[in-house]
A and B are shown apart, each in its own frame.
Chain A
Amino acid sequence: MNKVEKRHINKLEEYLWEIPTSYKSNMRVPARVLASEVLLDDIIEDRSLDQLVNVATLPGIKVASLVMPDVHEGYGFPIGGVAATSYPDGAISPGGIGYDINCGVRLLTSELKIHQIKGKVEELIKEMYAQIPSGMGKGGQIVLSVKEIDEVLIKGAEWAIDHGYGIKEDLAYIESNGKLASAKPDLVSEMAKKRGANQLGTLGSGNHFVEVDYVEEIYDTEIAKAFGLFEGQVVIMIHTGSRGLGHQVATDYIRLMMTAMTKYEIKVPDKELACVPFNSEEGQNYFKAMCAAANYAWCNREIISWEARSVWKKIFGLEVGPSLLYDVAHNIAKIETYMIDGEEQKVIVHRKGATRAFGPGFEELPKNYRKVGQPVIIPGSMGTCSYVLVGTSRSYDVTFGSCCHGAGRRLSRRAAKRQVNAPVLKKQLREKGIFIEAGSFKGIAEEAPITYKDVNLVVDTVSDSGIAKKVAKLRPIAVVKG
């Protein structure tokens, strides 16, 4: 099997690399990699770039298929990928969004400093573990009727607020205000709804987590102030998605598109790239179902925040819980407008393991962020550090307003289990001042810091390339691992 090698890649500029269309005859646009050379050498090792080349063959794809420096091999699309297709007749591909629709991350900021919570961290994380359901296929406290689940799919985070599980002020601080208006619950299968009926307010497993961090370093005082961040401040990060409901929506529609593709005479080099024209009946149905699943995910993160805030208030005897800094999606498709070939064009931006990173002036942002740009939250791993960045106007020109979404996996879960002694790791992290609560040692091993790329290298790359700017560095002190 042919594999992309370094000799196939041209350097366009510092941190931007390109595999030209001459590499493979079916490429409609070049494939671009945003990475430092050190990271690129690492990226070449797995099949990420071969998958990126396949994405470049999608009907209607514009400018280039792109990957961020945290990219790793996925199935069909690479994880850490961005693809924009022409609106309204370009392809929409569920694989370009992923099975965990609107998997995303949010950050809550408290008024407390690290020295004020020392001695209570263990109690805090144990209580969070007890109150926030996590682990494999676990259900939560809220069990929805069919009518209620339809309301969640329409209202998103608003549903949580209406039912006393959230704070109204949060909505302005959520991407798309926590609700995509195109959502149509009727286009979500009964099986998907059944899977989602008891999973609101649950983390799930894999790389999902709730993490307590403190702000270790501020890089940009003015922007940090706009975001309400200060040195020593304790913050809470939440990473999860649309749970079984989203997984089922993706499964249902990838299956449907597999058959529908023939009708539109579309051929793809990998079945997981199955796609149809956005403005076809199947394309519209998927998009509306995807929006519904995205709304479920925003509602889920709002309810988990409510659970975390309740624990916070109880442990520290406070009336008010932490505020929401921002909530951003990693796996989603959005209709956005960019300057392409000298004119404004609407495109369907697929982000799979990539974060929207819009710069200053973006209307949707709350007033206090509009001047500085959209917050971009980059989780590292449970033993290293995470970052808060801010989007820039350069991201519009280079990456369809997108940035990396994390450190990026480098080691398989199997290799992790072979190489990591989880009880020893848990003890070592404890000695470093990081408490871990997890359902199993297997889960700890799979998410060990060595399984991820160096988040500092990834963040420096996006920062030095100018598509986002560093605002603050966060250091973990406690983690509930899903």
Chain B
Amino acid sequence: MKIQYLPHTADIRMKVEASTLQELFIAGTRGMNTILKKGFCNQFDESKKKARIEIQSSDYTCLLIDFLSEVLSFSYVDKSIYCKVCILKFSKYKIIAEVLGNPIDYFEEEIKAVTYHEADVQKRNDNQWETCIIFDI
């Protein structure tokens, strides 16, 4: 998986690539967590916090954005970063996952929202999945 941060006038533009669609969800979460606090997820062997996420959307692009939005909301409410994504069920435009993480004292960046702008989940000719994601900060 590959995560890149690209220029944007006011917000954060992130490009994620992965070898499977499910891995793209994990890459997106990882990229988002790096914005919230770089290196945080490398500090722990065990997870103290857990949340269950169940999302259904109209397409895979919306599913990914809605999923990340939900992870972000739990991060703020629980004051935690959810580093691990265990996908329990993944079907057409639906995901059930358990996310695991740890409490955090402060976030390095406050992401206001994960936006749909420029997001477009695509499978490339080389069978890699990719999308761009803009975070409103």
Contact = CB atoms under 8 A, between A and B. Distances in A.
Interface of A: 46, 72-76, 79, 98-100, 135-138, 191, 194-195, 204-206, 244, 247-248, 250-251, 254-255, 258-259, 262, 270-272, 274, 409-415, 439-440, 442
B50 to A, nearest CB: 17
A137 B106 contact: yes
| Secondary structure call for the B interface | loop
Chain B, interface residues (CB within 8 Å), range = 20 to 34
A137 B107 contact: yes
A205 B9 contact: no
Contact of A72 (B9, B114, B137): B9
Interface centre among B11, B66, B110 (most CB of A within 10 A): B110
B134 A413 contact: no
Contacts of A135: 106, 110
Given A411-B9, A412-B8, A206 B119 contact: no
Contacts of B8: 73, 412, 414
B116 A254 contact: yes
Contacts of B136: 75, 98-99
B113 A271 contact: no
Nearest to B7: A412
Nearest to A274: B116
23 contacts: A72-B9, A73-B8, A75-B115, A75-B134, A75-B136, A76-B115, A76-B117, A135-B106, A135-B110, A137-B79, A204-B110, A247-B113, A250-B113, A258-B58, A258-B62, A259-B57, A262-B58, A271-B62, A271-B119, A274-B116, A409-B9, A409-B10, A413-B137
A335 to B, nearest CB: 25
B73 A136 contact: no
Given A137-B79, A259-B58, A412-B8, A75 B118 contact: yes
Given A194-B77, A413-B12, A136 B115 contact: no
A75 B106 contact: no
Interface of B: 5, 7-12, 57-58, 61-62, 66, 69, 73, 76-77, 79, 106-110, 112-119, 134, 136-137
A94 to B, nearest CB: 10
A205 B109 contact: yes
A195 B117 contact: no
B110 A205 contact: yes
A259 B57 CA distance: 8
Contacts of B12: 413-414
Interface pairs A-B: 10 shortest CB-CB: A75-B117, A271-B116, A136-B107, A99-B113, A75-B115, A136-B110, A272-B117, A205-B110, A99-B112, A247-B112
Interface centre among A194, A270, A271, A411 (most CB of B within 10 A): A271
Contacts of B107: 136-137
Contacts of B11: 74-75, 413
A26 B117 CA distance: 19
Nearest to A139: B79
Nearest to B120: A271
A257 to B, nearest CB: 11
A440 B107 CA distance: 12
A430 B55 CA distance: 50
A412 B76 contact: no
Contacts of A439: 106
A98 B134 CA distance: 14
B12 to A, nearest CB: 7
Nearest to A198: B79
Contacts of A74: 10-11, 117
Nearest to B10: A409
Given A204-B110, A272-B116, 16 more contacts: A46-B9, A74-B117, A75-B115, A98-B136, A99-B113, A137-B79, A137-B106, A250-B113, A255-B57, A255-B69, A262-B58, A271-B119, A409-B9, A409-B10, A412-B7, A442-B108
A99 B113 CA distance: 7
A191 B77 contact: yes
A136 B38 CA distance: 14
Contacts of B137: 205-206, 413
A136 B58 contact: no
A414 B8 CA distance: 8
Nearest to A193: B77
Contacts of B113: 99, 247, 250-251
